[in-house]
Amino acid sequence: MKKPLSDQEQFGLRLGLVARLWRAEIDRRLATFGLTEARWLTLLHLSRLAEAATQRELAEAVGVRGPTLVRTLDRLEAEGLIERRTEAADRRTKSVHLRAEAAPVLERIEATAAAVRAEILSDISHAEVTTCLKVFEQIAGKLGGAETAMQLTHRRTGEPWTSV
């Protein structure tokens, strides 16, 4: 007979499950507009960066490998939503820029993400959310170092962030 998992054993499993369910709900709602998770997540991350990102930086932010992102960028560029520019300082490096045509798509993504977030967090107090964010910062600090924890802290204080 299996013994029940402790709260600490369940924590990582549930954290991953909640993140997948959250993204899946946004993905389900945006699918009616022809947006896949790869496309909306890439646009969302790009829109929340303070400045244009290199393809490598964007792939890291989205959490995919470079070749995977390239296919998504090819499609977004073909649709006129982004453009890639060769960097003058290093011609091997391409930066990714949103085009004005992406604005209505981003509005739809942001509105959908906001609606899902409001529904999910409607019965959760501000204090509980703040406590959860502090726990995430501590975990990020242990997993990704101080820089990752600082990025999460900056996101909480209103600077550009990338969560949905």
pLDDT, tens digit, 9 for 90 and up, residues 36-66: 999 999 999 999 887 778 888 888 888 888 8
83 inside domain? yes
Q: Within the chain, which residues score under 50 in pLDDT?
A: 149, 152-153, 155-162
Predicted local distance difference test score (pLDDT) of residue 150 = 54
147 inside domain? no
Total number of domains in the chain? 1
Strand-pairing partners, residue 86, are 94
CATH number of the domain that 96 lies in? 1.10.10.10
68 inside domain? yes
From the centroid of its chain, how far is CA 82?
A: 17
